[in-house]
Amino acid sequence: MVTSEAVPFAKTGGLADVVSALSIQLKKHGHDVRILMPRYYPIDRGSLKKHEAPLGIPVSFYETWAAVYEGNLPNSDVPVYFLDNEELYGREGVYGEHGESYIDNCKRFTVLSRAAFQLCKMLNWYPDIMHAHDWPTAVVPLFLNTWEKDTTFANTSSVLTIHNLGYQGWFPKDDIHFLQLPWELFHASGLEFFDSINFLKSGISNADIITTVSPTYAQEIQTQEYGCMLETVLASRRGDLYGILNGIDYTEWNPKSDKFLPEHFSKSNLSGKKKMKKLLQERVGLEVDESVPLVGIVSRFAKQKGFGALCGPSHGKLYNILSDMKVQFVVLGTGEKWCEHELHSLASRLPNLKVITSFNNELAHWIEAGSDFFLMPSEYEPCGLNQIYSLSYGTLPIVRHTGGLADTVENYNEADGSGTGFVFNELTPQSIYDVVGWAVWAWYNRPKDIQKMVKSAMSKSFSWDNSAVEYEKLYTAAIEKRLRFRGIL
């Protein structure tokens, strides 16, 4: 696994969770899994073992040197190797700070990607698969097909996972010298995109197998609406493009044993959920009333997450929802300043809305456990995890039909009371108003259906064990493809 982040060492998004959880599960299945990532400034060297020899990494017109430290993922024997170079990684941020990307990201992540090969040589360990994650390490497949194609890595296959197509790694074309590739490969290698370097495009062009984090997202990104200008490239690789849902860690997100909850519950005994609702209402300052449906939101406040349609100053429908319906909302998160300001402004006028603009993991667990519904009106959502957490806690998701939301939430059927949530299609303020209204109507008028849906939701399983099996199949396919290409199979 070649990655820019992995929990608990560095995290900016779901990528970090996936790398660690998938690695641990694959290890349990008997595979030799190892992770390489940078040692950023906040990662304490004191708890790691330093390798004696430094690592020489070819980059640009010279060789860059880095120390290698080794640790393990917590509660596992999956080794994690940390590339230590103060000039490149000795910073607080992963990709940038204060909303600005680091200007040397091309060099930083080229070094990381080349270091993967140098590390394997140092360890005398040559993997069957090199698994790259998102744009920062998307040039790993490119290096396999260029610098390493006739070396001891000739039979090593590559898998690239796209966690979010919106981030691609664009750089000036003159930065090609960091990759040590000749100009004639600028176009042929798949690097070139609108006369610039695009790391992710090179990965899509060169990887043996490409995965995304849900089946629906794998289809969506081949369209103009979701393709972020790479839809044609992705469509050309459709035979090698697969969607595998992320799993969740049920040791952390389990209402029977959640360490953050004072009250626990299960689908056979929901009394603890009612108690959590009361405690949540008290904690955030809402009127304590079991009969009123409580809608939770835990999110980054951004356009991608649907906040423009939900609470845009001139057109959002959140005020109307809270004014017209007998419902409560609790919102936790941080993000774009206009959104934080607007939510606080609404909360100052509406007693049935409480907004907490901070990161609070404990409160996130409380909201998942104590809410009746969980709203995710995303513009796009490669996989999404909160809706899966919500299902585990019997908190019915209200989601837009996109990406992983479409793959994990079954729409309510009024005819037989089946389903695990409420789904809408078009991202408009009126659509959000209507779908919340539908859920609130069902709460008051179809309580037996709500109870049936809660139990159905809590019966669903999205474990990493299932996802790991799917990755194993694709690893086998990638190996066979590479060996066929080399005429060995």
Output the six-digit token pair for 398.
Answer: 């209200």
Local confidence band at 18 (pLDDT 50, 70, 90 cut-offs): very high
pLDDT recorded at residue 154: 94
List residues bridging with 82 in a β-sheet.
37, 69
Which has more pLDDT, 56 or 189? 56
* Angle formed by the axes of helices 14-28 and 464-485, nearest 10°: 80
485 versus 342: the higher-pLDDT residue is: 342
Nearest-CA neighbor of 11 among 45, 37, 50? 37
Cβ atoms within 10 Å, residue 29: 12
Q: At a CB cut-off of 8 Å and minimum separation 6, what does 208 contact?
A: 141, 157, 158, 159, 240, 478, 481, 482
* Mean pLDDT, range 445-465, rounded to an integer: 97
Residue 464 has pLDDT above 80, yes or no: yes
pLDDT of the residue at 221: 98
In 3-state terms, what secondary structure has residue 131? strand
Mean pLDDT of 36-53: 96
Each residue's pLDDT tens digit, 288-306: 999 999 999 999 898 889 9
SS (H, E, C) 317-337: CHHHHHHHCCCEEEEEEEECH
Q: What distance in Å separates the CA atoms of residue 150 and residue 170, rounded to the nearest whole number?
A: 28
pLDDT confidence tier of residue 486, bands split at 50, 70 and 90:
confident
Q: What three-state secondary structure class fits 9?
A: coil
Per the prediction, the chain carries an average pLDDT of: 96
> How many residues are there in the chain?
489
Q: pLDDT digit string (tens) for 316-354?
A: 999 999 999 999 999 999 989 999 999 999 999 999 999
Task: Return the DSSP state at 361.
Answer: H
Buried b (16+ CB within 10 A) or exposed e, 405-441: bbbbbbebeeeebebbbbbbeebebebbbbbbbbbbe
In eight-state DSSP terms, residue 12 is S
388 touches 196 (CB < 8 A): no
* pLDDT at res. 98: 82
Q: Which of these, 165, 177, 313, 132, lies nearest to 235 by C-alpha position?
A: 165
pLDDT band at 14 (very low <50, low <70, confident <90, very high): confident
Confidence at residue 407, expressed as pLDDT on a 0 to 100 scale: 98
Q: Measure the CA–CA gap between 287 and 304, rounded to whole angstroms.
A: 31
User: Above 90 in pLDDT, residue 485?
Assistant: no
Give pLDDT, residue 62. 86
- Asked if residues 2 and 82 have their Cβ atoms less than 8 Å apart, the reply is no
Sheet holding 157-162, edge to edge: 129-133, 157-162, 209-212, 241-243
Q: Can you tell me the mean pLDDT for 94-101?
A: 90
Rounded Cα–Cα distance for residues 16 and 95 (Å) = 13
Contacts of 138 (CB under 8 A, 6+ apart): 132, 160, 169, 199, 200, 202, 203, 204
pLDDT (average), residues 206-218: 97
DSSP-derived secondary structure for 398-467: EEESSHHHHHH-PBPBTTTTB-SBEEE-S-SHHHHHHHHHHHHHHHHH-HHHHHHHHHHHHT---BHHHH
| Whether the Cβ atoms of residue 220 and residue 383 lie closer than 8 Å to each other | no
Contact 398, 376 (CB under 8 A): yes
Q: What is the DSSP letter of 156?
A: -
Q: Which residue has 């939701």 as its token pair? A: 457
Q: Which helix (H) or strand (E) holds 19?
A: helix 14-28
| Arithmetic mean of pLDDT, 192-203 | 97
DSSP SS3 for 159? strand
Q: Is a pLDDT exceeding 90 seen at residue 487?
A: no
Q: Would you say residue 489 has pLDDT above 80?
A: no
- The per-residue DSSP string of 188-250 comes to HTS-EETTEEEHHHHHHHH-SEEEESSHHHHHHTTSTTTSTT-HHHHHHTGGGEEE----B-T
| Phi, psi angles (nearest 5°) of residue 233 | -65, -45
Is residue 150 pLDDT above 90, yes or no? yes
Mean pLDDT in residue range 244-267: 95
The model's confidence at residue 314, banded by pLDDT at 50, 70 and 90, is: confident
- Report, as an integer, the average pLDDT of 253-270: 97
Helix (H) / strand (E) element for 129: namely strand 129-133
Answer yes or no: are the C-beta atoms of 477 and 35 closer than 8 Å.
no
Average pLDDT over residues 78-93: 96
Q: What is the mean pLDDT of residues 79-98?
A: 95
For the stretch 30-43, pLDDT in tens is: 999 999 999 999 99
Residue 126 has pLDDT above 80, yes or no: yes
- Report the C-alpha gap between 281 and 278 in whole angstroms: 5
**Which of 57-61, 90-94, 179-183, 212-216 tops mean pLDDT?**
212-216
Whether the CA torsion 11, 252, 375, 408 is positive or negative: it is positive
Which of 93-107, 412-426, 475-489 has maximum average pLDDT? 412-426
Spatial neighbors of 358 by CB under 8 A, at least 6 apart, are 332, 334
Identify the pLDDT of residue 99: 79
Q: What predicted TM-score, i.e. pTM, was given to this entire model?
A: 0.92
